[in-house]
Amino acid sequence: MQIRVTTDDDWPRVYPFFRAIVAAGETYAYPDGLTSDEARLVWMREPPGRTVVAVDGDVVLGSATMGENRPGRGSHVATASFMVDPAHAGRGAGRTLGTDMIAWARAAGFRAVQFNAVVETNTAAVRLWRQLGFQIVGTVPGAFRSSAHGYVGLHVMHLDLTGDTAH
């Protein structure tokens, strides 16, 4: 498995699982029914942001998109989103993409990474982020309408990159 920055040719291989994951209604609060062009604007970022794919040869296993969490006086904190093709779950693509994102954020000089909306019932993701060092800052109750579970909480998660243990 390799991680590389996306090219325009990758999008047609990302959009099908992007669409399927959003439609499943368990992990992302994107608008419903985004067209391919609309979704591409959401997912495929230009520098200083970055979008990558995890590939095994010609097969795209998953993708991550990352950048500043806020502009201006919040631009020292990165954020990122991840999708792994359900057809390729269990091969470690999420962990590999997450590890790559953290290395990128550190190299780019960000002081922290913040996830704004990790669905609390997405326990595999929550477990992975905790294993990679993220802490749950808080949980917004009922902020996500899960297809299977109804109203569930959204975790705000945070990884400090400064080594400042006072945080």
Q: Which is nearer to its own copies, 59 or 137 (CB)?
A: 137
Only one of the segments 21-29, 45-53, 96-104, 123-131 lies at the binding site for its own copies (rule: CB under 8 A); that segment is 21-29
- CA 8 from centre of chain: 19
Q: Work out whether 1 is an interface residue with its own copies (CB under 8 A).
A: no
Residue 163 engages its own copies in binding (rule: CB under 8 A): no
Joined together, the tokens standing for residue 70 give 């806020």
Burial pattern 94-124, b for ≥16 Cβ within 10 A else e, equals bebbbebbbebbeeeebebbbbebbbbebee
Q: Measure the CA–CA gap between 51 and 14, rounded to whole angstroms.
A: 11
Q: Per-residue string for binding with its own copies, 26-45, x by CB under 8 A?
A: --xxxxx-------------
125 binds its own copies (CB under 8 A): no
Minimum CB distance to its own copies, residue 121 (Å): 12
Residue 160 interacts with its own copies (CB under 8 A)? Answer: yes
- Residue from 13, 12, 34, 14 nearest 23 by CA: 34
Residues touching its own copies, count (CB under 8 A): 41
- Compute the least distance from the CB of residue 111 to its own copies, in Å: 6
CA distance 66 to 48: 9
Cα distances (angstroms) measured from residue 108 to each of 57, 63, 98, 132: 28, 19, 15, 18
Q: Which residues bind its own copies (CB under 8 A)?
A: 22, 25, 28-32, 69-77, 111-112, 114, 116-117, 136-147, 151, 154, 156, 158, 160, 162, 164, 167
